[in-house]
Amino acid sequence: MEFGERLKEIRTGLNYSQSDLSEKTGLTVRTIQRIENNEVKPSPHSLKVICEALDIAPSELLNKSDTKPYEFNLTIKITDMNQFLTDLKTLVKTHWKTILLIVLVIYLITNYTDIKAGILDGWNAF
């Protein structure tokens, strides 16, 4: 039995509709449909929230014979990293002034004594 079939069996055994599971997990109904139809593998986050919503352990859904573990993990890690980089670019692009201000404040706080000594030395030189 494949992952999607096991998920559907457990979900229907608990009398949850796909909409109910969607509300409990925060995933879209379409995502749940695609997982149950084995069109996609769930991300680690999706797997976690589905298991929490159904109150089951991930091992009840996962079957070692379904996937090649290394292929699955590598694909997820690359996808997650690409999403992280995209989010980071967007964050920097939209909030670069705030980030710069925070970095400057941290620099000033961590180097306060050196900056103060430099200013006082310069002031006393006059």
Residue 77's pLDDT is 66
pLDDT in tens, 68-97: 443 545 555 677 788 888 888 998 999 999
* pTM beyond 0.75: no
* Residue 61: per-residue pLDDT: 78
Q: What is the DSSP string of the chain?
A: --HHHHHHHHHHHTT--HHHHHHHH---HHHHHHHHTTSSPPPHHHHHHHHHHHT--HHHH--TTTS-HHHHHHHHHHHHHHHHHHHHHHHHHHHHHHHHHHHHHHHHHHTHHHHHHHHHHHHHT-
What average pLDDT does range 102-121 have in this prediction?
89
